[in-house]
Amino acid sequence: MRRSGGWSGKILRVDLSTGRIWTENTVERYKDYLGGTGIGYKIIWDEVPAGTRPYDPENRIIFAVGPLAGTGAPSSGRTAITSLWPTCWPVPLVASGHMGGQFAAELKYAGYDAVVIQGKADHPVWLMIADQKVEIHDARRIWGRGIRDATYAITEIMGQDTTVAAIGQAGENLVPMSVVVNAVSHSAGGVGSVMGSKNLKAIGIRGTGSVRIAGKKEDWEKLIKYHLSLLGANNQHVVPNSPQPWAEFYDPNSRWNAAKGRRWGAAAHPVDTGTCDPHDTNRIAYRSNTAAYFLGDIAWKHTVRGNGCTSCPIRCHTILSVPAVTAKYGIPSVGHDTCVGLVFGRSFFKELPDGPKGMTGMEACMVGKHLADDLGVWCNYGQLQRDFIKLYYDGVIEKKLGSREFKRYSWSKYEKGDPAFLFELLPRIAMKEGELGTVLGLGTGYILERWSLSEQQWEKDKDLQYWKLGHPKHHASEEAGQCGMLINLMYNRDAQCHAHTNFIRNGLPLPLQKKLAAGIWGAPEAVDGVGDYKPMHRAKARMAKWSLLRKELHDSLSLCGWMGPWVASPLKERGYRGDNSIESMLYRLATGDNKDREELDKVAERIFLLHRALTIRGMGTKEMRVHHDKIPEWVYTDKSGKPPFTKGTTRLDRNDVQVALDMFYDELGWDKATGAPTARAYQKSGLDNVADTLSKQNLVPA
Partner 1 sequence: MKTREIIERTCKDEGAEHRDKAAEIAAAIRKRSAVAELVSEEEILSLLRAAWHETGEDIAAILIQLIEENKDLYKLSGAGSQFFYSTIHMTETYATILLNKMDGPMRLIAETVRQNAHVYQRPVLLDIFTKPPFDLTHDQVLEYLKTMAATESYDDIKAASTSASGIYLYSTTHLETEYAVMLAEWLDVGQSDNP
User: Where on the chain is the footprint of partner 1 (CB under 8 A)?
Assistant: 242-253, 259-261, 294, 339-340, 343, 355-356, 382, 465, 475, 478-479, 505, 509-510, 529-532, 642, 647-649
**Minimum CB distance to partner 1 smaller for 340 or for 436:** 340
Q: Which is nearer to partner 1, 190 or 240 (CB)?
A: 240
**Non-local CB neighbours of 4 within 8 Å, separated by 6+ positions:** 27, 212, 214, 591, 592, 593
Q: Of 283 and 672, which has the nearer Cβ to partner 1?
A: 283
Task: For partner 1, give the closer residue by CB, 649 or 678.
Answer: 649
* Count of beta carbons in the 10 Å neighbourhood of residue 427: 18
Phi, then psi, of 574 in degrees rounded to 5: -100, 10
Distance CA 1, CA 7 (A): 14
* Shortest separation between residue 230's beta carbon and partner 1, angstroms: 20
Q: How far is the CB of 248 from partner 1 (least distance, A)?
A: 5
What does 583-635 look like in DSSP terms, one character per residue? HHHHHHHHH-----HHHHHHHHHHHHHHHHHHHHHHHT-S-HHHHTS---GGG
55 or 246: CB nearest partner 1:
246
CB of 585 to partner 1, least distance (A): 29
Q: At 500, which helix (H) or strand (E)?
A: helix 499-504
Say how far residue 512 (Cα) sits from the centre of its chain.
28
Angle, CA of 631, 637 and 638, to the nearest 5°: 145
Return the ∠ at Cα 611 (arms to 690 and 171), rounded to 5°.
125
At residue 479, what is the residue type?
E
CB of 316 to partner 1, least distance (A): 11
Which is closer to partner 1, CB of 444 or CB of 591? 444
How near is the Cβ of 124 to partner 1 at its closest, in Å?
35
Contacts of 296 (CB under 8 A, 6+ apart): 356, 357, 358, 361
Shortest distance in whole angstroms from residue 456 CB to partner 1:
22
C-beta of 112 vs 458, nearer to partner 1: 458
Residue 356 or 445 having the CB closest to partner 1: 356
Closest CB 355 distance from partner 1, rounded Å: 7
Question: What's the distance, CA 296 to chain centroid?
Answer: 24
Give 335's Cβ-side CA count (13 Å radius). 31
**Closer to partner 1 by Cβ: residue 475 or 622:** 475
Q: List Cβ neighbours of 446 (8 Å cut-off, separation of 6 or more).
A: 87, 89, 176, 470
**C-beta of 138 vs 248, nearer to partner 1:** 248
Could you tell me the smallest distance in angstroms from the CB atom of residue 357 to partner 1?
Answer: 9
CB of 252 to partner 1, least distance (A): 5
Cβ nearer to partner 1, comparing 273 with 615: 273
Phi-psi group of 74: left, alpha or beta (phi > 0 → left; psi -120 to 50 → alpha; rest → beta) = beta
CA dihedral 238, 242, 243, 247 (to 10 degrees): -10
Shortest gap between Cβ of 386 and partner 1 (angstroms)? 9
Query: Measured from the CB atom, is 199 or 380 closer to partner 1?
Result: 380
Other CB atoms within a 10 A radius of the CB of residue 276 amount to 24
- Are 378 and 471 contacting, i.e. CB atoms less than 8 angstroms apart? no
We find the least distance from the C-beta atom of residue 561 to partner 1, in angstroms, to be 14
In angstroms, give the least distance from the CB of 531 to partner 1: 5
Residues written for the chain:
702
Please report, for residues 117, 306, 354, 411, 417, the alpha-carbon distance to residue 414 in angstroms, rounded to integers and kept in the order given: 40, 31, 14, 5, 5
Long-range contacts of 332-335 (CB under 8 A, 24+ apart): 332/370, 334/304, 335/185, 335/366, 335/369, 335/370
Nearer to partner 1, 279 or 450 (CB): 279
How many other CB atoms are found less than 10 A from the CB of residue 327? 8
Least separation in angstroms between CB 502 and partner 1: 12
Burial class (CB in 10 A: 0-12, 13-18, 19+), 433: middle
CA atoms within 13 A on the CB side of 493: 29
Burial label for 448, CB within 10 Å (0-12, 13-18, 19+), is: buried
